[in-house]
Amino acid sequence: MGIESQIKASVAKAVQELYGETIESESVQVQLTRKDMKGDFTVVVFPLLRVSKKNPIETGNEIGEFLKKDCGDVAQFEVIKGFLNLVLSHSYWVNLINRISDVENYGIKQADENSPLVMIEYSSPNTNKPLHLGHIRNNLLGFSLSRVVEANGNQVVKTNIVNDRGIHICKSMLAWKKWGEGQTPESTGKKGDHLVGDFYVKFDQEYKKEQKALMDAGQSKEEAEANSPLMKEAREMLRLWEANDTEVYGLWKMMNQWVYTGFDVTYKTMGVGFDKIYYESDTYKVGRDMVIEGLDKGVFYRREDNSIWSNLENDGLDEKLLLRADGTSVYMTQDIGTAKLRYDDFNIDKMVYVVGNEQNYHFKVLALLLDKLGLEWGKDLVHFSYGMVELPEGKMKSREGTVVDADDLMEEMVNTAREMSKALGKLEGYSEEEAEQVYRTIALGALKYFILKVDPRKNMTFNPEESIDFNGNTGPFIQYTFARINSVVSKAIDKGYNVPEHANNDVELSEKEVQLMSMLANFPNVVAEAGNVYSPAIIANYAYDLAKEFNQFYHASPIAVEEDEDKRAMRLVLCKNVSKTIKNAMWMLGIDVPNRM
């Protein structure tokens, strides 16, 4: 039983013995004491006044005296208005740290074959362009979320749906066919996703020229868009692709393979991966069959132009197109098919889609449609809706070629980490190879942490240089703290000091030591909260707060020069547990922590 449960049980017992009333222990309100007050845990007294029939001060004092006798870990108490602040004994905290020492994966619950299976979809790239800064936020959120969910004792399957068909793909294909002159990744020395992305931009440039010419000839903007020869060719290419035209299909396969190869390099650099990848070119067919089946069952209806729709007005939404008049699919068709395939492949208990908040309506509709089609988890799907990421200069646009490329950004981060580390003399004494590895670890840690520390629901602005600051709420600050702790323990060992697994529970603790231990004790609650609300930001900010608290303890508490053997041993045990907890927290964020910096 945890200390909070013990306190609740003891308060319930106090109410029974002092006031002759029975209450449920879970109804007792216990919370962490505010930092500006003395105490570790606080019992909210106000709800107990109806049974005590006394004022808050008197009730609090009576219950406090009872707890000191009944709950051995309560050493002192103080009543402030309607709040009973409890101070726990030093031996309680030392025993707790000793228990944490025995748990390698502290804060992380292990799943078994009976644990719920949660599938998390993230990335969802289009094969007409390379991954950019927006994709970075998506991938980092998705991968971190998968680890947070796993740390809460669930089985996890990480999945990706690659949008490899549609008019946008045909735009890149058509542009390469017209202006590519046979270029390949090998002949140009470019990553395949970058090469294909160049032709997507080229199509948009030529399309705008056509629009302007048609508008200069007197057509309206709408007429110019409809009459553009290029756009007509792209639509015809899509029709031919869906009809399995040999030439178009061969071109599509070749260019997509270039992109997949490029994506794999980016994913590896970013440190993310997937257990299963689905492709829209496969799933849209399944979705189309399901829509037809839904039509036959009367779930959907057909309009006069032959298009198929779902009427969701009774659900507070509108009508949704599922198949166009020419029989071609829309995004919703693909998502229905993907959901069916996933449900067939895995016995899913929960499905989480990591997709930007511009798709909020889409997922409301998808949940209803899956439920109407009989997929059990359809209505309970989770749309992990996150905000957009921008640069200080503003928004990015793929078609205009103004996006921040993921590969370029990560390389720029490494260069910045290298320059800052050299200027600060952080890696003196390292070989060139060792230093280069640490530069990359720092750079990616900075990028990931800066993205993940922000509430995912909010829009954010990414500032590369600010993210690599070795001070403040940054990844490198936490990484440096981890390395500092390792250095402290190593120096103690070099001096011949004993670094035990457990501390003597009779040792006296300072206020800073208790605060640090209290933070460690709260880690499992933090992990649970992050899992409940699907927010890696909670883990990220806890890791920063823990690192900051450790640094205050470090400056206030001598370790290697402490003469009292028991105090020194306790502080070394505390150091090792902080190190372990930081490492576990950063693991959930997908961030490596170097042993030396």
pLDDT tens profile 56-93: 999 999 999 999 999 989 999 999 999 999 999 999 99
Q: What percent of the chain has pLDDT over 70?
A: 98
Q: For the chain, what is the mean pLDDT?
A: 93
Q: For residue 550, give both structure tokens.
A: 């450790």
What would the mean pLDDT of 99-113 be, rounded to a whole number?
Answer: 95
Fold of 122-276+332-390: Rossmann fold (3.40.50)
E strands, 210-337, are 276-279, 301-302, 308-311, 319-323
Look at residue 396 and tell me whether its pLDDT is greater than 50: no
| Beta pairing, strands 155-162 & 117-121 | parallel
Q: What is the DSSP letter of 46?
A: G
Spell out the domain ranges in the chain: 3-88, 122-276+332-390, 412-588
E strands, 424-482, are 460-461
Span 338-350, pLDDT tens digits: 999 999 999 899 9
Contact 585, 543 (CB under 8 A): yes
Q: How far apart are CA 473 and CA 244, in angstroms?
A: 53
Q: For residue 162, give both structure tokens.
A: 């690659």
- The CATH number of domain 3-88, selected from 3.30.590.20, 3.40.50.2000, 3.30.1360.70, 1.10.150.20: 3.30.1360.70
Look at residue 400 and tell me whether its pLDDT is greater than 80: no
What is the CATH number assigned to the segment(s) 412-588? Answer: 1.10.730.10
